Amino acid sequence: MKMIELKEMDVSGEMFLIEANRYIYHSIDYLFSKQQEPSPIAIMEVLKDKRAKKVLEDFGGIEYLTILAEQKVNENNLNIFVEKLKQSYTRYKLCGICDTSKNFLLSDKTEILNPTEIINVVESKLTDLSNAVQQTKDIYKMGDDAEEILAQRAENPNSVPGLEVGWSKFDYYTNGGQPGDLIMICARAKTGKSTILTNWATKLSIQDKIPVLYFDTEMNSRQQEDRILAILSGVPNKEIVSGMYVLDTENGKATDKKRALHEAVQKLKEGNYYHVYLPAFTMDKVSAIAKKFKLQYGIQAIFFDYLKMPASQIASLKNAAEWQMLGFITSGLKDLAGTLNLPIYSACQENRSNINSGKKDETNVGGSDRILQLASKLIFLVNKSDEDIIKEGAINGNQRLYISFQRNGESDVPPINVKFDRPRNTMYEV
C-alpha cells in the first residue's frame, strides 16, 4: 500500500541518487505491479541486467537488502522521507542544470539566439525539473469536506458564488467566474471582443482590487492603458491619445476631462491590473508567466486576448492544420485554469456561417471543435442591426450577448442587451 502512496506523491526511481537504491526501487515497483512480495531474494531475482545485479552485490547484495527489510520505520514519517528524497534530487539536478547552462551560454549556439530565446532554453529545464519534483496529483475522497464547505456557504449565501464582472444578469446566469473555468467570448472581427475583456478585467482589478493578469497578443501596454483610462474617466480614447483632452471640445471642458483623467490614473495605480504584451506567445511561455504571477501577486483571474495562432508557432507546427493549433492552445488554457485554480477569460473568432441569426450554436465557432468541447462557458457577442436598434430603442443598447452553452449553469437564457460606447471603449449591460 505504501507503494501506492509513493506513486501518488510522484516518486520515481530516478530520484534515488545512489545507483543501488535506484535498482532496488525499480525492482520493488516491478514486484508491486505483479502483486508479489518484495522480499530480498525476489528483488535480486528480478534484476536481470548483469550490471545492475553487480552494482547491488557490490553494495552488499542480499545482506544489505535483509538489513533494510528488518529495519523498523515509522510509516507516519513517509512524507518526511519523500520530502528529503526530492530535496536531494532537486539539488543534484539543479547543479547539473547550472553546469549544462553554463556550457550552453558559452557555446557558439547562443550567438544566433535573441535574449528571450536564450532565457527560454534555460527556463524550460527548470520547468521540467519543477514538474518532476512537485506533487501535482490531488486525490480527494468525495464527502470528506462536504459538511465544512456547506457550512461555509451557509455563513455567506450569495446568488453569484464566483467572480463578478459587474453585469448583473450575466453574473447571475453564469454564477460568476469559477476556479477552473474557461470563459470564451465568440464574435466577429471588430465587434468588441477585446473591449469586453478589458472592461471586465478593469472592473475586477480596479473596482474590486482583485489581482488579474491580462495576456495581450494585439496591443502593447501603452495602448491598453489608454483604453483603461478611457473606461475609467469617460474621456474618449482618441482625445487621450492625441492630448486633445486639454482643450474644450464637444466631449467636455478641459478642466473636467483633466480632473477625470487624474482620478482615473489614481484608481489605476491603486488597482491590481497586470498586463503582458505577448504577440509571439507560446503556451509554455504563457504558463510560466501565469505561474510566476500567481506565486508573486496572487492573481485570481487571467484574461487571454485572444485565441489565435502567432506566426512563430505556425512555422513550428507547419504540418498541423489551423483547427489543430487552436485546439492545442484551448487545451493549454483549460489546463492552466485548472492547475492555477482560477477562471480564464478569453475570446475567439466567429465564422461566417449564420451571421445574421439571433440564435448561435457550435456551427458559429470558428477554428476548432475543441473550443466548444473545453469552454466552460461559450458566449456570443453580436451587433444589433439598425432595424433592431430602431425597433427596440437606443436605450436597449446596440449589441446582444448570448450565453449559448455553459457547464454548471443555465444555457439558452434570454439574450442580454449591451451598450457599446466605442469612443470611450466602454461596454455595459442594459
Q: Which of 69-78, 157-166, 215-224, 347-356 has the lowest mean pLDDT?
A: 347-356
Cα 276 to Cα 284: distance, rounded to the nearest angstrom: 15
Coil vs helix vs strand at 301:
strand
Instruction: Determine the residue type at 131.
Output: N
Q: State residue 313's pLDDT score.
A: 57
Where does the pLDDT of residue 268 fall: very low under 50, low under 70, confident under 90, or very high at 90 and above?
very high
| Percent of the chain residues past pLDDT 90, beyond the cut | 61
φ, ψ of residue 177 to 5 degrees: the values are -75, 115
| CB burial string 307-326: b at 16+ within 10 A, e below | bbbbeebeeeeeeeeeeebb
Does position 289 have pLDDT exceeding 80, yes or no? yes
Residue 60: C-alpha distances to residues 23, 43, 57 (Å): 13, 13, 5
- Mean pLDDT calculated for residue range 331-350: 94
φ, ψ of residue 377 to 5 degrees: the values are -140, 125
Does position 311 have pLDDT exceeding 90, yes or no? no
Q: State residue 316's pLDDT score.
A: 54
Burial category of 192 from C-beta neighbours within 10 Å (exposed 0-12, middle 13-18, buried 19 and up): buried
pTM of the prediction?
Answer: 0.72
- Mean pLDDT calculated for residue range 184-209: 96
